Amino acid sequence: MKRLIKITIILFVFLFLSINVFPQTPTQMRERFDPEINASSSKLRADSLNCELVGGWFGGSCYTIFVDPQKDTIAYIGDNDYFRILNVSDPSSPISAGELRCPEKVEDIYVVDTLAYVADADSGLRIIDVSDPTNPDEIGYYDTEGNAHAVYVVDTHAYVADSDSGLLVIDVSEPTSPVEIGCYAMKCWIHGLHVIDTVAYVTVPVDGLYIINISDPTSPYGMGFYYTGSHTLGVYVFDTLAYLAYGGVFIIDISDPANLDFVGSCGLGMEDNAIDVQVIDSIVYATDDGNDLHIVNVSDPTDPIEIGYYYDIVSSIYDLKDIQVIGDLVYIAGGEEGFYIIRHTETSKVKEDVFEKEGVSLLNVNSGIDIWFALTAREKVKVEIFNLLGQSIEKLMDGVSPIGTYNLNWNGNNGIYFIRVEIGDKVYRKKAVILR
């Protein structure tokens, strides 16, 4: 009898541990979150707007993601110390294609052509050949002094956010032998990193937004700073605006880096702090630490409108990480609970350009830039052209103008420019490219 009781107790303890302590299998994880398998308890249907769960990969964790817009059938993810490649050609059923174990936790990934650049925490920058997705192979590395947290690649330069050094510039023209050629020293942890041509935008959680000139990669220097004070995480730059994951999403006018201006904020529906942000046309996609996805129309950045959301994507608080948007699909790193794909179902109805909406139009042709607007009352008007570094290079108008129709033309050199039009108390911004 005692032996029977002992066996019964052992079986009870094992059953308790298997339910409450032992990790769930990938099948169990998929059953928990797949709406096709578990439709009756799908949280999406009760807590979403213009969004639907398409699929996901739950065979491990996912702390960072990269999906190449030109090759959107492949997703690269960081699963703790594993660099994984997923086939997402069928978004409803991603399949693991290949993997490579890295020395440390994979913090960030950036892929160019057949090379993946991995910020690998204490092991610095790793360079991986992904020409064969089934067999990724490390071909080079650069061991940074501290913790490599973020990476962005432009041409032959990798920009690495390193905890002990700041923003490193690493020459990767020879991927088997990367070399550090420049550094913008910062003794604080960089969280967000976005590079546009010759300018780097970085966020520091305890400070705010830094704008760094990298036109000479051997000698980066600061151009501007916007102080937030705390909890500033992701950053994304689109046209003349920077979007900061800070509380909700702060919108900052960066057309003049030396004089950064607050434009508006997207806090609609966000009861928690934003983690990461991406902007497509006039739509902001943001994840927050309450595990929600928010989609906001910012065609008028002073009056954002929430047009979609998906609540409680994962069950563990603070587990959502990176976000990336390709077309109508939103790819989300779900931390310990894996990788999620959500479809935004109403993208075609919300992309209205405020530049045209209120009577200001810009025609960008190879030969130059035409700016048209009409005044229905006497107004103070200022029309200014900025280069990529935020330097004012031309003022087409600056003063009080009478009622009438105005058509301005500017013929500049080849390059990228930002157009800023101020009419009364309203400001219009647009990016333009001249390429003859």
Domains in the chain: boundaries: 46-349, 355-434
Q: Which has more pLDDT, 143 or 358?
A: 143
pLDDT at 18 over 50: no
Contact 287, 296 (CB under 8 A): no
Question: Which of 386, 375, 392, 389 minimizes the C-alpha distance to 426?
Answer: 375
pLDDT of residue 42: 38
Amino acid (one-letter) located at 272: D
pLDDT of residue 38: 31
pLDDT (tens digit, 9 = 90+) per residue, 393-403?
888 888 888 87
- The whole-angstrom separation of Cα 428 and Cα 326 is 27
pLDDT of residue 174: 97
Q: pLDDT confidence of 270, banded at 50, 70, 90? A: low
SS3 367: coil
- The whole-angstrom separation of Cα 17 and Cα 14 is 5
Highest mean pLDDT among 14-18, 62-66, 286-290: 62-66
Q: CATH number for 46-349: choose from 1.20.120.1200, 2.40.50.140, 3.40.50.1100, 2.130.10.10.
A: 2.130.10.10
Region 279-291: mean pLDDT is 84
Contact 175, 127 (CB under 8 A): yes
Contact 97, 74 (CB under 8 A): yes
pLDDT (tens digit, 9 = 90+) per residue, 94-110?
999 999 999 999 999 99
pLDDT at 379 over 70: yes
Region 321-349: mean pLDDT is 84
- The whole-angstrom separation of Cα 212 and Cα 195 is 9
pLDDT (tens digit, 9 = 90+) per residue, 52-87?
999 999 888 999 999 987 777 899 999 999 999 999
**Percent with pLDDT over 90 in the chain:** 39
Domain topology for 355-434? Immunoglobulin-like (2.60.40)
Region 380-390: mean pLDDT is 79
pLDDT (tens digit, 9 = 90+) per residue, 141-194?
999 988 999 999 999 999 999 987 899 999 999 999 999 999 999 877 888 899
Q: Burial letters for 11-26: b for 16+ Cβ neighbours within 10 Å, e otherwise?
A: eeeeeeeeeeeeeeee
pLDDT of residue 363: 54
* Pairing mode, strands 283-288 and 293-297: antiparallel
Weakest mean pLDDT among 21-25, 317-321, 343-347, 414-418:
21-25
DSSP string over 11-66: HHHHHHHHHHTSPPPHHHHHHHH-TTTSGGG-HHHHSEESEEEEEEE-SS-BSEEE
- The whole-angstrom separation of Cα 367 and Cα 370 is 10
pLDDT at 243 over 90: yes
Q: pLDDT confidence of 436, banded at 50, 70, 90? A: low
Tell me what the pLDDT averaged over the chain comes to. 80
Amino acid (one-letter) located at 174: E
Question: Which of 259, 355, 349 minimizes the C-alpha distance to 301?
Answer: 355
Region 15-19: mean pLDDT is 41
pLDDT at 33 over 50: no
Amino acid (one-letter) located at 340: Y
Q: Burial letters for 315-344: b for 16+ Cβ neighbours within 10 Å, e otherwise?
A: eeeebbbbbbbbeebbbbbbbebbbbbbbb
Contact 53, 20 (CB under 8 A): no
Q: Burial letters for 232-243: b for 16+ Cβ neighbours within 10 Å, e otherwise?
A: bbbbbbbbbbbb
Q: pLDDT confidence of 349, banded at 50, 70, 90? A: very low
pLDDT of residue 268: 53
Q: What is the pTM of this model?
A: 0.74
Region 122-134: mean pLDDT is 95
pLDDT of residue 191: 86
Q: At which residue do the structure tokens 């107790």 appear? A: 9
Q: pLDDT confidence of 47, banded at 50, 70, 90? A: confident
pLDDT of residue 399: 86
Q: pLDDT confidence of 353, banded at 50, 70, 90? A: very low
In degrees, rounded to 5, the angle at the alpha carbon of residue 35 between the alpha carbons of residues 34 and 40 is 125
